Amino acid sequence: MLDLNTKKIKKNAYRVTKVRGETASRIRVPGGLLTADILPIIQNIAETYGNGRIHLTTRQGFEIPGIRYEDMDAVNALLQPIIDKLDINQEIPGKGYTAAGTRNVSACIGSNVCPFANYNTTDFAKKMEKEIFPNDLHFKVAFTGCANDCIKARMQDFGIIGMTEPQYEKERCVNCQACVKACKKKSVDALTVENYRIVRNTEKCVGCGECVINCPTRAWTRSTEKYYRLVIMGRTGKRNPRLAEDFLVWTTEDVIIKIINNTYKFVENYIDRSAPGGKEHIGYIIDRAGFSEFKKWALDGVDLGDKTIVKGPVYWSGLHYD
């Protein structure tokens, strides 16, 4: 006769499924990048203890359904090399994943492969994993390499969109206008020509890097510093699904890490303790506490530097069903 503590099971990254007696093991892959040698381990678990099927999750993980609850210890033992290889923050070695509120930090393929990416999304995602895992609070963080936002960063509590500040060496420019055309047709039309040379409208420029990508002479290059647009409090859900809005533009890695860590403190302070499962989405907490109160907590002790533009007060729109 099964006698289970479902709360503990969920915290161990197993799902309570609709099928009586069967659970599903959830394997998080921070940053969405793994080495191929992990796949046979997943295959082995699915074929030995599951039903031979594997679900690819939206947040870049694997979910192995059809596992009997009594096999969880055996599965945890098989998961250990995956956890080691992925360098997951693990609470008790040998006891599987720790899971709770904070969701897998996901990332687009980034500058390892994609020509449009302005930074290594996987590296930043893994760094973020180290900062915030494991944690009971419901946080969704995702990294995307450029403004195309393939990871859907604007559907997250924190979306990090890569930017570069284009550097123009006018003496290398041949006025071919490849940058102007690319910016006009693929981005925000921030470039104009004056006396055969390019003028960048810094107010309009979104730092996508199209000018750099299309420049044939290296007149346009990337800034040494990596910049990011931090968008906040996007969400799906029943009441008020909405896209994340800009909070910081031209910000840096250190600032983003500090702000997300600060937000955990804000949530600890303002969360509705009576919320089901002790979980309440950050966005609804900010809706209740007010943006200015969130901002006060988020920017506590943060040195924004000279370049960062702070947006606010931030208002979200989206659909209201409540």
Partner 1 sequence: MGYQINQDKMNAILTELSKKYKIYGPRRYVGDGTFAHVDTIRYGEVTTLDDIEFKEKSNYSFKEVLLPISETLFYFTENEMKEADAPHSGAIVFLRSCDLHGLKRMDTIYLKNGAVDTYYKRLRDNTKFILMGCEDSFENCFCVSMGTNQSDDYDAYLKIDGQNVLIDSHWDLLDTALAEMPEIQVIPDAVSQNKTVVEIPEAIPQSVIDSPFWEDYANRCIACGRCNFVCPTCTCFTMQDIFYTDNGKAGERRRVWASCHVDGYTDMAGGHAFRDNKGQRMRFKVMHKINDYKKRFGTQMCIGCGRCDDVCPEYISFSNCINKLNTLVKEEN
Residues that bind partner 1 (CB under 8 A): 111, 115, 117-120, 145, 162, 164, 170-176, 178, 194-196, 209, 212-219, 221-222, 224
Q: How far apart, in whole angstroms, are the C-alpha atoms of residue 50 and residue 66? A: 4
Bridging pattern class, strands 158-163 and 141-144: parallel
Which residue lies nearer to partner 1 by CB, 96 or 162?
Answer: 162
The H or E element containing residue 282 is helix 282-289
Which residue lies nearer to partner 1 by CB, 102 or 111?
Answer: 111
Residues present in the chain in total: 322
Which residue lies nearer to partner 1 by CB, 209 or 318?
Answer: 209
Nearest distance, CB of residue 175 and partner 1, angstroms: 6
Instruction: Evaluate the omega torsion of the peptide bond into residue 65 and state whether it is cis, within 30 degrees of 0.
Output: no
Which residue lies nearer to partner 1 by CB, 63 or 210?
Answer: 210
Bridging pattern class, strands 141-144 and 106-107: parallel
Q: How far apart, in whole angstroms, are the C-alpha atoms of residue 12 and residue 34? A: 21
Retrieve residue 169's tokens: 């060496």
Q: How far apart, in whole angstroms, are the C-alpha atoms of residue 253 and residue 261? A: 13
Which residue lies nearer to partner 1 by CB, 106 or 120?
Answer: 120
